[in-house]
Amino acid sequence: MSSKEELMKRLGIDIDSETLRLALTHRSYSYENGGIPTNERVEFLGDSILGFSVAEYLYKKYPDLPEGDLAKRRAAIVSTRALAIIARDLGVGEHIFLGRGEAQSNGANKASILADTMEALIGATYLDQGMDAARALVLRFVTPLLEDVRLLGAATDWKTVIQEEVAAKKLGDMRYQVTGSGPDHARTYEATLVISDEPYGSGHGPSKKEAEQEAARNSWLQLHPGEQIPRS
C-alpha cells in the first residue's frame, strides 16, 4: 500500500493525488521548490467548512444550550490543539511536504502546522468530493472530541487558570520545572508544576508551552478530584 493510500485509508476518504498533494504542501516546501502552490488557500476553505459543520452539529445536538455555551464548545474542538491531536493520531505529519529547515526543526510535529494541514485536508475533500464528504470527515474525527478527556477545556489557558487559583487560595509560590530530551530537530519537553516546593501535575509536548499547559491542566485536576473539567 502506498503512502497516499495509507493516509486515505486512515482518513476514510479518497481524493485525487494532485488535490491531496496540494493539501499537504507547506509554504516552506513551496519556497524551496520554485513557488509551487501551497495549502494555504485550501486551508482557508477547510477552516470555513470546519466551523460551519461543527456549529451545525452543536446546534442540533444541544437544542437547549445558549449561544455562549455553544460558542465555547465550538472553540474547544476547532482549536489548534484539537486539530493537532487529530493529525497526530492519524499520522498526518509524516506525509506533509516541508522545507528542509522546517523539517529539521521538527515541523511535522508542530501543532500549528498539523492543525493547518487538517483544515487543508477538509478543504481538499470538499474540492474533490463535495460538501457531504467534507462534513462527514469533520463529524468522523472532530466532533467526537467533545467527549475526549484530552480536549475538555482545550480553549482554556490553563496556566492562567491555575495561577489565579494558586493566588486566590494562597497556596504559595509556583514554578514550572521543564526538561528537554531528544535531538534538536525532534526535541520533546516534560514540565512539572511545583507549588510551595511540592510537585503537582506533569505534562509532555513538542514545545515548552504545550508541556506547561498540560502540566497546569493536570494540576487543576489534582486540586479538584472528582470534578468535571470545564469545557471553556
What residue numbers does the annotated binding site for Mg(2+) cover? Answer: 43, 116, 119
Whether 210 is catalytic = no
Question: Which residues belong to the annotated binding site?
Answer: 43, 116, 119
Q: Which of 6, 67, 94, 119 is catalytic?
A: 119
User: Which residue do the cell numbers 510551595 mark?
Assistant: 196
Cα separation, 89 vs 76, whole angstroms: 18
**For the chain, how are helix, strand and coil distributed in percent, rounded to 5?**
60, 10, 25
Whether 47 is catalytic = yes
CA distances from 120 to 49, 127, 138, 146, 178 (A): 10, 10, 12, 22, 33
Phi-psi region of 40 (alpha: psi -120 to 50; beta: other; left: phi over 0): alpha
Catalytic residues: 47, 119
